[in-house]
Amino acid sequence: IRFCSSSAAGCLSSRQNTEAIDWSPDVFRPTSAFGPERVDFAVELVDKVVASTKELSGSWRREYSWTSKTMHWLLPWRVPAFDKIVRDYLGIPKGWDNKRAYGEVARRIFALAREERPETVWAGPLKPCTPLRALDKWLWWDGDGKDSHA
């Protein structure tokens, strides 16, 4: 089965993008580190996956919301989720493209995570109890997600 659109070059660069991602066991482990280098990891990871899926599908769309949510599900300690509700709640300008907007959302969510207590009791009882997961839920809920039909 071939998952590439029209060119072998596109397949190769998509493969290189996904192979360049650090899928070591360490990225799946809990962490309490939420510094700027962690923001860079999340943003670069989402960018790489967006580029790969765009290339593989042949689509013009750049699916930052879907990709960030998928990566957040896989790596809840490392990648914050992104959607219109969170973007609007944080006051990210509507004129920004999704790549720039996701970068700013990630920076702000990681800054909030750094301000919280190191123990994750405030994140609630549902596993995984990660600061990024708790902040995503809170921002979505307080940003009128509770009234959404998503």
Structure tokens at 138: 């809170």
State pTM to two decimals: 0.77
Phi, psi of 133 (to 5 degrees): -65, -45
Could you read off the pLDDT of 69-92 as tens digits, one per residue?
999 999 999 999 999 999 999 999
Phi, psi of 8 (to 5 degrees): -65, -35
* Cα separation, 26 vs 126, whole angstroms: 22
Of the candidates 37, 10, 3, 1, which has an alpha carbon nearest to the alpha carbon of residue 22?
37
Q: Which amino acid is at 118?
A: P
Could you read off the pLDDT of 81-136 as tens digits, one per residue?
999 999 999 999 999 999 999 999 999 999 998 886 655 555 566 677 788 888 88
